[in-house]
Amino acid sequence: MTHLTIEQSESNGMCILTAVGEIDLASSPDLETRLSQCLGDGPVVVDLSSVSFIDSTGLRVLLAAHSGASDGGNPLGLVVTDGPVTKLLSITGVDGHLNIFRSVDAASSDA
């Protein structure tokens, strides 16, 4: 059984989602729902620094959210530190196409 918690906060009109745990087939719909709720309201930052596992379904959710954010004019930033998320983004080659930051503060100041 996988476990993912997603905390939501707001800072200066920006939605900040902090994911903790594993993003996989079972939990990615929760992330997708939370992202879709936030994306229409303004810039979004997703803090993935405490994600211990992510698979291709999680990657699909992030790519779809990035595309939707770009189309809607609301920037999407991902906070990624060394670990499984960095590895997946690098292996798949999408790290150069996403807005990746090392901290929530860095992502917030860029939006």
- pLDDT tens across 12-28, in order? 889 999 999 999 999 99
Residue 1, pLDDT > 60, answer no
Cα–Cα dist 95/88, whole Å: 9
Which residue is listed with tokens 């150069």?
A: 96
Cα–Cα dist 42/19, whole Å: 19
| Number of CB atoms found within 10 A of residue 5's CB | 11
**Contact between 92 and 59 (Cβ < 8 Å):** yes
Cα–Cα dist 59/55, whole Å: 6
Residue 89, pLDDT > 90, answer yes
How does residue 109 score in pLDDT terms, banded at 50, 70 and 90? confident
pLDDT at residue 82 in the model: 87
pLDDT at residue 74 in the model: 83
Average pLDDT over residues 75-91: 94
Average pLDDT over residues 21-49: 94
The string over 30-61, giving b where at least 16 C-beta atoms fall within 10 Å of a residue's C-beta and e elsewhere, is: ebbebbeebbeebbbbbbbbebebbbebbbeb
pLDDT at residue 35 in the model: 95
Residue 52, pLDDT > 60, answer yes
